[in-house]
Copies of this chain bind each other. A is one copy, B any other.
Amino acid sequence: MAHITQLSDAIRDAVRDGDIVALEGFTHLIPYAAGHEIVRQAKRDLTVIRMTPDVIYDMLIGSGCVKKIVFSWGGNPGVGSLHRLRDAVEKDWPLPIEVEEHAHAGMAAMYAAGAANLPFGLLRGYIGTDLTKHNGRIKFIDCPFTGEKLAAVPAHRPDVTVIHAQKADRKGNVLMWGVVGVQKEAVLAAKRSIVTVEEIVDDLQAPPNAVVLPYWVVGHVCEVKGGAFPSYAQGYYARNNAFYKKWDDISKDRESFTSWMDKHIKGTKDFAEFKLSLAGQTLGGK
């Protein structure tokens, strides 16, 4: 049942050390503000799930919040590598990281299975590839009608899913539009959820068949204007491509990453202060 609250309270309440956490968003509506707050509150031993872990996961990993990552494509979209993810995998910095790797279709099927309360998702996938050699959670079953071999992957059931959406109403009904990714499934599959939104309004004015999460299936709802920056929120602001490029420099070495995080994330009390800290200077503050 939705309750409207501050983001810091939501993270304090819903994200616990050791949790399985999904911060979802497929290039659009990525819950950056919520991710920052997880770093500020120094959550530890998280298993983080995401189809496309990007800069916010780089921040979480480099800040030592993450024990394990479950993913299908980990990069800085349009730019290149995630240096903090690579440093963790290649050199155990700041901590060793366990990797459970899938393909997109498998991850989507795992979320859908979780939302549908099925123990596993079914797909034509993984056949003949090396992922199956390193991921014991990919199995194969035979179709009882045709005998065909199909892949089976276990359902995602996160402890908490975090997403960003465009609007909520005062009851906590959530509306999103545009590229909606796997967010509905990720929320429905989770035990708890946090939804940050651009604005809380009296009436969603949702068009017919819009993607709406009813108030009684979401948990914390927090108004955080611009909370998807540097990704975008359709109808509100565009993607900040410059930040994604700049992140390549910021994150390339441990020292510049740490000092940037100290200044802009750990050294600010919330997302509004973070945005202010960026505004007075060139991005990244070098």
Q: Cα distance A122–B145 when bound, in Å?
A: 12
Q: Cα distance A139–B152 when bound, in Å?
A: 17
Interface residue? A103 (CB, 8 A): no
Partner of A209, one of B119, B122, B210: B210
Interface residue? A180 (CB, 8 A): yes
Main secondary structure on A side of the interface with B? loop
Interface residue? A14 (CB, 8 A): no
- Given the known inter-chain contacts A177-B209, A208-B177, A209-B177, please indicate yes or no for A119 contacting B145, CB distance below 8 A: yes
A103 CB to closest chain B CB (Å) equals 16
A121 CB to closest chain B CB (Å) equals 8
Interface residue? A148 (CB, 8 A): yes
- Given the known inter-chain contacts A178-B208, A208-B177, A209-B210, please indicate yes or no for A145 contacting B117, CB distance below 8 A: no
* CB contact list, A118-133 vs B, under 8 A: 118-120, 122-124
Q: Cα distance A216–B119 when bound, in Å?
A: 35
- Given the known inter-chain contacts A209-B211, A210-B207, please indicate yes or no for A119 contacting B141, CB distance below 8 A: no
Contact A124–B118 (Cβ < 8 Å): yes
A66 CB to closest chain B CB (Å) equals 24
- Given the known inter-chain contacts A178-B208, A207-B208, please indicate yes or no for A144 contacting B150, CB distance below 8 A: no
Copy count, this protein chain: 2
Greatest chain B CB density within 10 A among A137, A148, A154, A208 is at A208
Q: Cα distance A181–B188 when bound, in Å?
A: 21
* CB contact list, A228-274 vs B, under 8 A: 234
A279 CB to closest chain B CB (Å) equals 31
* CB contact list, A5-34 vs B, under 8 A: none
Interface string of A134-163 (1 = CB under 8 A from B): 000101110111101010101000000000
Chain B residues with CB under 8 Å of A124's CB are: 117-118
A259 CB to closest chain B CB (Å) equals 41
Q: Cα distance A46–B120 when bound, in Å?
A: 36
Contact B139–A120 (Cβ < 8 Å): no
A120 CB to closest chain B CB (Å) equals 6
Partner of A118, one of B123, B140, B154, B207: B123
A168 CB to closest chain B CB (Å) equals 17
A181 CB to closest chain B CB (Å) equals 11
Contact B144–A139 (Cβ < 8 Å): yes
A166 CB to closest chain B CB (Å) equals 10
Contact A144–B120 (Cβ < 8 Å): yes
13 A-B pairs whose Cβ atoms sit less than 8 Å apart in the complex = A117-B124, A118-B123, A119-B143, A120-B143, A120-B145, A120-B146, A122-B122, A137-B145, A141-B141, A143-B152, A145-B152, A178-B209, A207-B207
